[in-house]
Amino acid sequence: DEIQKSKYDELFHYTINKAAKNTIIWYSYNALTSIMELFTLNIRREVEKNEPEGTVDKLHDDIFEAMINRDKEKARTYMKYHMDMIIKYFKSF
């Protein structure tokens, strides 16, 4: 169910930001959280409608795995791809 998946998205983003241990990232994330909550479900629906099935979940898995393995390059690559996709669909709102 997409609503539950969007809640997992929010938890994933929270966890990544907390793990970064970077106060600038943390404060920026907190400032944007309420705005992100408004769009997470809608953007997820747009991505799932226009991209291969499971794209968001796969990207989150790839980012998480790269971070666990401390592979900065892969984490950076996956994050950039993820952010580019989110920006692309965010612009449609």
* Of the candidates 75, 73, 39, 44, the residue with the CA atom closest to the CA atom of residue 57: 44
Q: What is the pTM of this model?
A: 0.79
Provide the residue range defining the domain that includes 27: 2-90
User: pLDDT class for 91, splitting at 50, 70, 90?
Assistant: confident
* Of the candidates 8, 73, 77, the residue with the CA atom closest to the CA atom of residue 16: 8
How many domains are contained in the chain? 1
Among 16-25, 27-36, 71-80, 83-92, the range of highest mean pLDDT: 71-80
Burial state string for 12-51 with b = 16 or more CB within 10 A and e = fewer than 16: bbeebbeeeeeeeeeeebeeeeeebeeebbebbebbbeee
Q: And the tokens for 71?
A: 């592979």
